[in-house]
Amino acid sequence: MIVSLVVFIVILVLSVPAALIFIPLAVITGNVNPLYAATCFIVRTAFRVAGIRVRVEGRELVPAKTACIFMANHVSNLDPPGLIPRIPGRTAAFAKRAIFKIPVFGYCMKLGEFIPVDRTGSTAVAKESVEAARRVLNKGIHITTFVEGTRSKDGRLLPFKKGPFYLAMATGAPCIPVSIYGTESLMAKGSPRLKSGTAHIVFHTPIYPANFATREDLLIAVRDAIASGLPEWMRG
């Protein structure tokens, strides 16, 4: 718990001046990139303080100057802060609506055009989120989604949600499967305790929705790619 406390203090110390400088700057200029870069720097610093190394493979496979949909598995709360700063360019992401209610942090997510989602199962709400994501992609900004919809309790792949694949088929944006492992042992589900170690992030070859007749076929291809980069016991 000592490591977790130190990391929290580091984030707090760095976030306060960053918020005071870059949030007003983003509001005044309409340019959120400096705020985004500062946030990524804070996250990377927090990982170093925690003794967490991030090993990245395949980033060179991501198409340049193309808005993509990054589709990753999800095993830990460390996955979003581990992955997002390592994505080339700027990305928005789907996130639980409750997170947007966190003071300052939630406002920053709105500025960054992150997309709130609900777990109500409502078709209308899902379509609203997909349409918001389409608008973000049209601006040339990536979308990142954890396609299981929630963290896996034991690290094994869960069934994928269909929403990201509606988005992919509707926009034709390249899908970048991403395999994440190691984080499940560095911060387990339901625990605030951080451990030092190595997190692994593997970017795979882009998968183009136009090459598939149905969403289900695209989903299977993305799932196979993600599974291929995971340890065998995590493949479900």
| pLDDT classification of 121: cutoffs 50, 70, 90 | low
Length of the chain: 236
53-234 domain in CATH 3.40.1130.10?
Answer: yes
- Contact residues for 61 (Cβ-Cβ < 8 A; gap 6+): 176, 203, 204, 205, 206
Spans of all domains in the chain: 53-234
Residue 236 has pLDDT above 70, yes or no: yes
CA distances (Å), origin 226, targets 42, 146, 202, 232: 28, 11, 8, 11
| pLDDT classification of 122: cutoffs 50, 70, 90 | low
Helices within the chain (DSSP H only): 2-29, 33-49, 79-83, 105-111, 123-138, 163-171, 183-186, 215-228
Q: Side-chain half-sphere of 15: how many Cα atoms within 13 Å?
A: 15
Q: Which residue has the tokens 């360019």?
A: 89
Residue 89 has pLDDT above 80, yes or no: yes
Q: What is the mean pLDDT of residues 108-117?
A: 92
Residue 125 has pLDDT above 80, yes or no: no
